[in-house]
Structure 1
Amino acid sequence: MKRSFVICILFFGFSNSIQAQTPTPTQFEQIGYLLEDALLYSKQYLIPATDGAVYQASSAWMNSAKRKKNWQITVGLHGNTFIVPKSDRSFIINNSDFKFLKLEGTEASAEVPTALGNDDSFYLVGDLDGQQVRLKTPKGVNQETITYPYLDVSFALPSGSEIIGRFSTKTNLKRGYYKVYGFGLKHNLSQYFPKLESKKIHISAMSFYSNEDISFDFLDVNTSYGNLGINNLNGIVDTYHYQLSVSKEIKRFEILGSFIVNTSNFNYVVSGEKGEIENIIPAQYIINQLLNTIEKRKTNYIGEVAVNYSLKDFSILSAFAFGKFVNFNAGVSYKVN
């Protein structure tokens, strides 16, 4: 099905080309195979990074399970650190996986980095009707941890609810960027159980939405018809989170335990400056349509343990989230009123 779609779009592009040189049927088919190979590579390269982005956006939304004073505004500055797991730093490619490309040299397979991997690179080559296409595989961020700062703001309502928002500026990685924003609604449940409140035990539930945008340099592919214009690959993730938290106050400390369930919708797109080949075929459009076939919906179950220390109008939070991945978070909050 993917191949027939590529051929259909290629036919449309070539038939409307203003170029004097018309690709041969062989070249026509080979460019389709090249685009399919790029799709295959993109799936294994970027998916570990977008999976990790969900964990980065899930942590430390609730800095306290207590009901806050009516109309209280709190502003916090946080630093989030994601531990890059070794298992998601590389994947194996085999010449037999590809229709157009193959590893340069005599090797039939190689271990190449994902977007979260190291900075190793290899060359892939292909023959476009007698003309060589040669490209370097994309490198990873080459970082064992990914850290980014963000700002959050909360506003307490009279009902025991709380509106919370967070925003991070674009955090530059070695070969890309990461940014996130989100908003949510928290409601205190223990207010309905005075016996729990008297023992300084607090329960709150929260639902929130986050949008994660992660981008990496991708494949710089030059052909006799020009660059393909797929130098940049983005993963955009919409995530809906549901959290239940229980806490216990011990003097100035509040110890929180949370269970988080989230559902994410993943969308992958190539972006950036279009290549010269766009004069002949809509290469970016074709790849983006193919990338739609790998959009996925995933559910994660995450545990989180946090400690909040209060000191007058300030509080210090440290949180540890765990599940498929491990994530740390630390922040300082200030009560504005």
Structure 2
Amino acid sequence: MRKLFFILISLSGFSAQAQLNDINAVASDLIFLTEKYITPAAEAPTYQSSGGWYTNFTPKKIFEIEASLQYNLLLITNKNKTFLVNESELQNIQIQGSSTFAYIPTALGNDDVVVLEGSINGDSFEFDAPEGINEKTVKHGQLQASVGLWKQTNLIVRYAPNIKINDTNYQSFGFGVSHHLNQWIKSLKESSYHFGVLFNYSNTSVEDTFNAANLQLGTINGIAVDGETFGFNLVGSKSYKNFDFSSSLGLTSSKFDYKVSGTGELLLEILNQSLATLNTSKTNFKADFNVNYRFNNFSVNTMFTVGDYSNLNFGVNYCFNKRNVDLGIEK
């Protein structure tokens, strides 16, 4: 990477070694701060996208379709709102004033302003650290549909349209497959409990814009995160009259790609190439708890997902083709 910096800066007319060292140090500090700032906003959607994949876990009949209108409410805890920066962790950039440390808002944090400063070849610059969304929760709606297939297997698709929270945009889509295990285990075939597995994939996009950080080589005014998450869940459920109770234990594996935006071709190339080398893979464990109430072809459900983040999912659901199925497509 230092060789790349040397070539780029040489082509841009920078020849002094001291200047090269300053640029490398500033770039390293910006990568460090960027990762700390955006990581909570990258990880939080994985919990929203990992919940709400079923309203109940009783087997659907073939071609029985359930359409759902869902609403997610992600709870933001204080530990995810700020990150601590000590000047001893930085090479060039400093906290303005006499303090040697500061709590800087993450993308999920408040709108407190922390001023940072540095210098390149003796020329000083300063900028405000990006602010957060200044919300206690992240709320968004999504559409979901599931269809019963053969061998007690369900196919699920979902889509969350783009929403904007202050200066942050969020969008996602995904699909999943659930399969019931009772049919394969003799002792469970007549059980009133239902057990199964759920596999899901989600693609999330988060774009955050903020006041431009003016540096000598250009400006930074936004960060985009594209994330992919694969999930595996073990699910158990029990029905009582019109109520369905279910819970699951799950494992999610996520990978994120970061990209900063702004002005200054050299600055953006250095930062984005460095961001591409970060290890952004994340594995999480989580649990889901769901209650569903059925009436006629409708149902309403609430699912609580808990892990590093907590999310509440509310759904209003309607089943199609139940009458046709019950008349003989599959018993």
Match of 2:240 among 200, 225, 250: 250
User: One-letter code of the match for 2:226?
Assistant: I
Match of 1:260 among 235, 243, 250: 250
C-alpha contact 2:82 2:106 (8 A) present in aligned 1: yes
Q: Which structure 2 residues correspond to residues 150-229 of structure 1 after superposition, within 5 A?
A: 150-192=142-184, 196=188, 198-217=190-209, 220-225=212-217, 227-228=218-219
Equivalent-residue separation in structure 2 for 1:148 and 1:247 (angstroms): 27
Cα offset, 1:267, TM superposition: 2.1
2:118 paired with 1:126: yes
Equivalent-residue separation in structure 1 for 2:216 and 2:84 (angstroms): 29
Equivalent-residue separation in structure 1 for 2:85 and 2:211 (angstroms): 15
Cα offset, 1:219, TM superposition: 6.9
Residue aligning to 2:3:
8
Equivalent-residue separation in structure 2 for 1:257 and 1:50 (angstroms): 25
C-alpha contact 1:133 1:221 (8 A) present in aligned 2: no
Equivalent-residue separation in structure 1 for 2:15 and 2:211 (angstroms): 22
Residue aligning to 1:103:
95
2:311 paired with 1:327: yes
Runs of 4+ in 1 over 3 A off after TM superposition: 14-17, 21-25, 191-199
Cα offset, 1:10, TM superposition: 2.8
Q: Using a 3 Å threshold, how does the CA distance of structure 1 residues 304 and 331 change in structure 2: closer, same or farther?
A: same
> Which has the larger share of strand?
2
Task: Report which stretch shifted further, 196-205 or 67-76.
Answer: 196-205
> Unpaired runs of 5+ in structure 2?
322-331
Q: Which structure 2 residues correspond to residues 33-72 of structure 1 after superposition, within 5 A?
A: 33-72=25-64
Q: Which structure 2 residues correspond to residues 141-156 of structure 1 after superposition, within 5 A?
A: 141-156=133-148
Equivalent-residue separation in structure 2 for 1:63 and 1:134 (angstroms): 51
Q: Using a 3 Å threshold, how does the CA distance of structure 1 residues 219 and 13 change in structure 2: closer, same or farther?
A: farther
Question: What per-residue deviation string (whole Å, max 9, x for no partner) do you get for residues 179-220 of structure 1?
Answer: 211111111222345764645321221111111222223572
Equivalent-residue separation in structure 1 for 2:49 and 2:90 (angstroms): 34
Q: Which structure 2 residues correspond to residues 23-38 of structure 1 after superposition, within 5 A?
A: 24-38=16-30
Cα offset, 1:323, TM superposition: 2.1
Equivalent-residue separation in structure 2 for 1:263 and 1:126 (angstroms): 37
TM-score (normalizing by structure 1): 0.89
User: One-letter code of the match for 2:253?
Assistant: T
Residue aligning to 2:227:
237
SS in 1 for 2:179: strand
2:109 paired with 1:117: yes
Equivalent-residue separation in structure 2 for 1:23 and 1:265 (angstroms): 38
Cα offset, 1:32, TM superposition: 1.9
**How many pairs does the alignment contain?**
321
Residue aligning to 1:90:
82
Question: What per-residue deviation string (whole Å, max 9, x for no partner) do you get for residues 59-108 of structure 1?
Answer: 11122211111111221110011111111111111222222211112121
C-alpha contact 1:67 1:191 (8 A) present in aligned 2: no
> Unpaired runs of 5+ in structure 1?
none
C-alpha contact 2:14 2:20 (8 A) present in aligned 1: no
SS in 1 for 2:150: coil
Equivalent-residue separation in structure 2 for 1:322 and 1:224 (angstroms): 44
C-alpha contact 2:167 2:210 (8 A) present in aligned 1: no
Q: Using a 3 Å threshold, how does the CA distance of structure 1 residues 148 and 23 change in structure 2: closer, same or farther?
A: farther
C-alpha contact 2:86 2:102 (8 A) present in aligned 1: yes
C-alpha contact 1:182 1:208 (8 A) present in aligned 2: yes
Cα offset, 1:165, TM superposition: 0.8
Residue aligning to 2:131:
139
Give RMSD over aligned pairs.
Answer: 1.9
Equivalent-residue separation in structure 2 for 1:23 and 1:172 (angstroms): 44
Equivalent-residue separation in structure 1 for 2:299 and 2:185 (angstroms): 26
Task: Report which stretch shifted further, 8-17 or 246-255.
Answer: 8-17
SS in 2 for 1:287: helix
2:298 paired with 1:314: yes
User: One-letter code of the match for 2:102?
Assistant: A
Identity %: 29
